[in-house]
Chain A
Amino acid sequence: MITLDRVRLLVPENKVPEVNENDFDTFSNKITVKKEILKNIVGVREITYINNSFLLDVSGKITADKGNLGLIHKNNVKEVFEKIDDTGILRFNSSPVEASQVLYLDVTKDVEVENPLETLTAIELLATQRKHKNKILDYKNSGLIIKPHAKSVSDSLAIYLKYKEIIQNKSPKNRLYIEKIGIETIEKIKKTVRLERHLGTFKDIRKAFKTNSKKIRLKEILHSKKNPVKDKFCEITSSNEYDWFTVGKEVF
């Protein structure tokens, strides 16, 4: 099942009959919800009115609960919009899942492993084989991020320790998040490695989900049978069997 840690969406304004205008401000020519309001709402990063649509930047944390770190998937996506509705900033007249267009995605998998640090080392070492295609950089929380050298491609894979991310973030919003999931949950995820495929352009999203849709809808993404995290992971850690240099005459 596709699970998302973060998604940027465009919801058409006809899905939003009511708006609390007092919550909005004009900032850098954008009509956007005030930061002081968003800092108290776990899981909502941005709400902006733009081109007759509302841009929603939402994190899976919006669905977090006791024992649940929170990721967005097809079974809880309605709840995501209900929770945004509950903030009082916007009111939806029906679920906007079908009408919402995707702009950016973090497709995410949490995996429990025996030894998280050794797992990161193993990935890094195997990924070095493909370093002519990708660069391997340090990422937050003892993690690594594997990015293509090509600047035109916005498709990367981040691998890090979720446990560290939660305990090292000292922001008030993160404290609210810890209250939601419960301190005991943090203990339980000490062996969890998070893998996130960051897809930043329509082209990258289409390629990862093998779709030709002109407008990529949230519903299509959440119901996809593809596994973009696994595909990317295999790509960066596997050698190319068909490389003409490797199929030549063996000399050992």
Chain B
Amino acid sequence: MKIQKFLKKVGMRAILTNFDDDVKVIRKMLKIECEFSSPSTLNTVIATFKEELKEKISENRNFFRYQKIVQDLIKKIGE
């Protein structure tokens, strides 16, 4: 049931982060949260839950604003 726990966490926190309809971050989060042993296992899990994950991605677009804020901040720190 690790994946279910992960999806709960996704709803609260991770989905707000680095999502661009891009699976890379989901893969990373799954790796961190569920400690998968190999990329192939991870692929299977993502394939199984892809609809649920896609739905959660589309639910939350805050990430783009947050990402822009952080990118602007990086520019200012570099000045």
Contact = CB atoms under 8 A, between A and B. Distances in A.
B74 A230 contact: yes
Q: A-B pairs with the 3 shortest C-beta distances?
A: A122-B66, A248-B39, A122-B69
Contacts of B39: 244-245, 248-249
Nearest to A246: B24
A127 to B, nearest CB: 9
A109 B66 contact: no
Contact of B17 (A109, A128, A227, A249): A128
Interface stretch (A25-33, A89-97, A232-240): A232-240
B73 A125 contact: no
Contact of A252 (B17, B50, B72): B50
A252 to B, nearest CB: 5
A250 interface: yes
Contact of A245 (B16, B31, B73): B31
A239 B76 contact: no
B14 interface: yes
18 contacts: A119-B69, A119-B73, A122-B65, A123-B73, A125-B63, A128-B17, A129-B14, A230-B74, A239-B28, A245-B27, A245-B36, A246-B24, A246-B25, A246-B28, A249-B43, A250-B23, A251-B46, A251-B47
B13 interface: yes
A121 interface: yes
Contacts of A112: 76
A122 B70 contact: yes
A111 B28 contact: no
A109 B50 contact: no
Interface string A98-130: 000000000001011101001101110110110
A239 B18 contact: yes
B20 to A, nearest CB: 11
Chain A: number of interface residues, binned into ranges: 35 or more
A113 B43 contact: no
Contacts of B21: 252
Given A239-B24, A248-B27, A128 B14 contact: yes
Contact of A129 (B23, B29, B73, B77): B29
A250 B26 CA distance: 11
Given A249-B39, A251-B46, A252-B54, A129 B69 contact: no
B42 A111 contact: no
A121 B65 CA distance: 11
Contacts of A132: 32
A243 B28 contact: yes
A195 interface: yes
Contacts of A239: 18, 24-25, 28
A248 B43 contact: yes
Nearest to A245: B31
Given A122-B69, A243-B28, A233 B74 contact: yes
